[in-house]
């Protein structure tokens, strides 16, 4: 994921429109504590950059764990030229199909790989070492594994695809399309029936969670953005902020550009705040994330899925 431009926040007037919800009381609960254990488990493997030991261990874990909750799990393998080199490596997107057989499937996604370098670390001597990626990598996957667990316990009519994208974070800064390579391959070689929409999670574990609306999301699916941020307001999820934040190239952009899937990204790029950032540093560790933050994002998605 890479930040593209910075815009000043702008209040969106149309959010004053209230929406009604029919059956909030029947929505199953999401456990932020359980999701946080998934975050810690991924980090226990060490950095998960392609080619590392942690990458292989985590890949096996994710396939096994997702299989416990899914009707079916399969992988989409592809050979990828590593940006800035002449080497290719085999990469793996992991796809789970859950719940019903309705005609309105949705896709929930997150990248599972972590960045091979800490290019923004304050210590220049540590910049060539891979990051742990507690927030940038593990957090989105953690929320989705917990959602998979909930869906397996409380079956739902509509199909939910959960996709763990590989090779999101191998990019060269300033070259947007050297990022999100797994999502690019997925979108160009769609291995599932086309979902009605997609919601990507990235960097949702920050203990100081702030979730303004990412700008490409607003261009690509304004209806969904408005619905979700209004829903968050309705159920008291205070991390969600009804203003426009950064424009970010993440896995949602190739889904829209290459497969015409109206996709959005829930992301907190100010980690922990607008004055300092643990992004792509060795401070991206579980201690800077929280169960409560994962709980806010997971709770919103569970409400969305069961209220559709």
Binding site for Zn ion (CB under 5 A): 1, 115, 136, 169
Q: Beta partners for 98?
A: 160
203: left (phi over 0), alpha (psi -120 to 50) or beta: left
Q: How far is the CB of 1 from Zn ion (least distance, A)?
A: 5
H-assigned helices in the chain: 32-44, 53-69, 140-153, 181-188, 215-220, 222-234, 252-259, 291-307
Length of the chain: 308
Strand locations in the chain (E): 2-5, 72-81, 88-99, 106-111, 159-165, 197-202, 211-213, 240-244, 247-249, 263-267
Q: Beta partners for 2?
A: 249
**Contact between residue 48 and residue 133 where contact means Cβ atoms under 8 Å apart:** yes
Q: How far is the CB of 216 from Zn ion (least distance, A)?
A: 16
CB nearer to Zn ion: pick between 8 and 174: 174
Q: How far is the CB of 74 from Zn ion (least distance, A)?
A: 26
CB nearer to Zn ion: pick between 48 and 59: 48
Let me know if 141 is exposed, middle or buried by CB neighbors in 10 A (0-12, 13-18, 19+): buried
For residue 4 the two structure tokens come to 């593209």
CB nearer to Zn ion: pick between 193 and 273: 273
CB nearer to Zn ion: pick between 169 and 210: 169
CB nearer to Zn ion: pick between 121 and 136: 136
Q: How far is the CB of 217 from Zn ion (least distance, A)?
A: 17
Q: How far is the CB of 292 from Zn ion (least distance, A)?
A: 22
For residue 70 the two structure tokens come to 């899914």
Q: Beta partners for 81?
A: 88
Provide the 3-class DSSP secondary structure of residue 110. Answer: strand
Q: How far is the CB of 112 from Zn ion (least distance, A)?
A: 12
CB nearer to Zn ion: pick between 170 and 199: 170
């Amino acid at each position: 994921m890479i930040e593209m431009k910075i815009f000043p926040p702008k209040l969106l007037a149309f959010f004053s429109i209230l929406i009604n919800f029919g059956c909030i009381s029947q929505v199953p609960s999401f456990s932020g504590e359980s999701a946080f254990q998934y975050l810690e488990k991924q980090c226990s493997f060490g950095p998960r950059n392609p080619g590392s030991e942690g990458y292989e261990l985590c890949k096996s874990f994710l396939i096994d764990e997702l299989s416990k909750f899914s009707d079916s799990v399969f992988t989409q393998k592809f050979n990828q030229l590593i940006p800035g080199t002449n080497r290719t490596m085999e990469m793996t997107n992991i796809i789970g199909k859950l719940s019903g057989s309705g005609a309105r499937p949705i896709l929930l996604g997150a990248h599972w790989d972590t960045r091979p370098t800490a290019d923004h670390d304050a210590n220049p001597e540590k910049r060539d070492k891979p990051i742990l990626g507690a927030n940038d990598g593990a957090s989105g996957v953690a929320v989705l594994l917990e959602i998979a667990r909930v869906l397996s316990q409380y079956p739902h009519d509509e199909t939910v695809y959960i996709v763990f994208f590989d090779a999101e974070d191998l990019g060269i800064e300033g070259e947007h399309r050297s990022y999100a390579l797994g999502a690019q391959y997925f979108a160009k070689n769609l291995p599932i029936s086309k979902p009605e929409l997609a919601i990507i999670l990235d960097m949702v574990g920050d203990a100081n969670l702030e979730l303004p609306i990412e700008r490409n999301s607003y261009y690509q699916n304004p209806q969904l953005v408005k619905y979700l941020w209004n829903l968050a307001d309705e159920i008291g999820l205070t991390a969600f902020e009804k203003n426009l934040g950064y424009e970010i190239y993440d896995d949602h952009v190739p889904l829209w550009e290459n497969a015409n899937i109206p996709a959005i990204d829930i992301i907190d790029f100010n980690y922990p705040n607008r004055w300092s950032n643990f992004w792509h540093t060795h401070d991206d560790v579980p201690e800077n994330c929280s169960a409560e933050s994962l709980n806010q994002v997971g709770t919103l998605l569970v409400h969305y899925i069961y209220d559709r």
